[in-house]
A and B are shown apart, each in its own frame.
Chain A
Amino acid sequence: MVQLTINNIKVNAEEGMTILDAAKSVGISVPTLCHLKDLIPTGACRICSVEVEGQRGLVPSCAFPIYEGMVVDTNSPRVRRARKTIVELLVENHPQDCLICVRNKNCELQDLSEKYGLREHRFVGETKDHAIDISSASMERDPAKCILCGRCVRVCHEIQKVGAIDFTNRGFASIVTTPYNKGLNISDCILCGQCILVCPTAALREKSTLKEVSNALRDKSKYVIVQVAPAVRASLGEEYHFPLGTDVTGQLVTGLRRLGFKKVFDTNFAADLTIMEEAAELISRIKNNAPLPMFTSCCPGWIKFAESNYPEILPYLSSCKSPHEMEGAVLKTYYAKKMGINPKDIFVVSIMPCTVKKYESNRAELSEETHPDVDAVLTTRELVRFFKMVGIDFEGLPQDTFDNPLGESTGAAAIFGTSGGVMEAALRTAYYKMTGKDLEHLEFESIRGLDGLKEAVVNIDGTVLNIAVVNGIGNVRQVIDDIKENKSKYQFIEVMACPGGCINGGGQPIHQIPEKVVKRMKALYQIDMEMKSRRSYENESIKALYKEYFIEPNSHKAHDILHTDYVNRKKTLKN
Chain B
Amino acid sequence: MHSQIFQDYPPKDKSSLIPLLQDVQNIYGYLPEDALQEIADYVGLPLSRVYGVATFYNQFRLIPLGENVIKVCRGTACHVKNSSNVLYAVESALNIKAGQTSRDKKFSIEVVNCIGACSIAPVITINDEYFGRLTVKEIPTILKKFTGSPKPKQAESTTEKNLV
Given contacts A571-B37, A573-B34, contact A180 B46 (CB under 8 A): no
Enumerate chain B residues within 8 angstroms of A180, measured Cβ to Cβ: 33, 51, 62
Complex CA–CA separation, A170 to B62 (angstroms): 15
Complex CA–CA separation, A399 to B72 (angstroms): 73
> Do B1 and A179 touch (CB < 8 A)?
no
30 A-B residue pairs with Cβ-Cβ distance under 8 Å, sorted by A, are A162-B46, A163-B46, A163-B47, A163-B49, A164-B46, A164-B48, A165-B48, A166-B46, A166-B48, A166-B51, A166-B52, A167-B56, A168-B48, A168-B51, A169-B56, A170-B56, A178-B48, A179-B36, A179-B47, A179-B51, A180-B33, A180-B51, A180-B62, A187-B48, A188-B47, A573-B1, A573-B34, A573-B37, A574-B34, A575-B1
> Do A163 and B45 touch (CB < 8 A)?
yes
Given contacts A157-B49, A164-B48, contact A575 B33 (CB under 8 A): no
Bin the interface of chain B by size: 10 to 19
The reply on B13 being an interface residue by CB < 8 A is: no
The reply on B38 being an interface residue by CB < 8 A is: yes
Q: Report the minimal beta-carbon distance from A273 to chain B, rounded to whole angstroms.
A: 37
Q: Report the minimal beta-carbon distance from A186 to chain B, rounded to whole angstroms.
A: 12
Closest to B1 in A: A575
Which one of A157, A169, A178 contacts B55 once the chains associate, using CB atoms below 8 Å?
A: A169
Given contacts A571-B37, A573-B1, contact A157 B56 (CB under 8 A): no
Q: Report the minimal beta-carbon distance from A67 to chain B, rounded to whole angstroms.
A: 32
Enumerate chain B residues within 8 angstroms of A163, measured Cβ to Cβ: 45-49
Within A38-85, the residues touching B (CB, 8 Å) are none
Within B73-119, the residues touching A (CB, 8 Å) are none
Enumerate chain B residues within 8 angstroms of A179, measured Cβ to Cβ: 36, 47-48, 50-51
Write out, one digit per residue, whether chain A residues 184-206 have a CB within 8 A of any chain B CB (1) or not (0). Answer: 00011000000000000000000
Closest to B54 in A: A168
Write out, one digit per residue, whether chain A residues 495-537 have a CB within 8 A of any chain B CB (1) or not (0). Answer: 0000000000000000000000000000000000000000000
Enumerate chain B residues within 8 angstroms of A188, measured Cβ to Cβ: 46-48
> Do A168 and B56 touch (CB < 8 A)?
yes
4 A-B pairs with the lowest CB-CB distances in the bound complex, closest first: A163-B46, A166-B48, A179-B51, A166-B52
Complex CA–CA separation, A574 to B33 (angstroms): 10
Enumerate chain B residues within 8 angstroms of A166, measured Cβ to Cβ: 46, 48-49, 51-52
Enumerate chain A residues within 8 angstroms of B36, measured Cβ to Cβ: 179
Enumerate chain B residues within 8 angstroms of A573, measured Cβ to Cβ: 1, 34, 37-38
Enumerate chain B residues within 8 angstroms of A169, measured Cβ to Cβ: 55-56
Closest to B37 in A: A573
Which one of A162, A167, A187, A575 contacts B52 once the chains associate, using CB atoms below 8 Å?
A: A167
Enumerate chain A residues within 8 angstroms of B55, measured Cβ to Cβ: 168-170
Within A312-357, the residues touching B (CB, 8 Å) are none
Enumerate chain A residues within 8 angstroms of B52, measured Cβ to Cβ: 166-168
Enumerate chain A residues within 8 angstroms of B62, measured Cβ to Cβ: 180
Enumerate chain A residues within 8 angstroms of B47, measured Cβ to Cβ: 163, 179, 188
Complex CA–CA separation, A164 to B38 (angstroms): 16
Q: Report the minimal beta-carbon distance from B150 to chain A, rounded to whole angstroms.
A: 29
Closest to A173 in B: B55
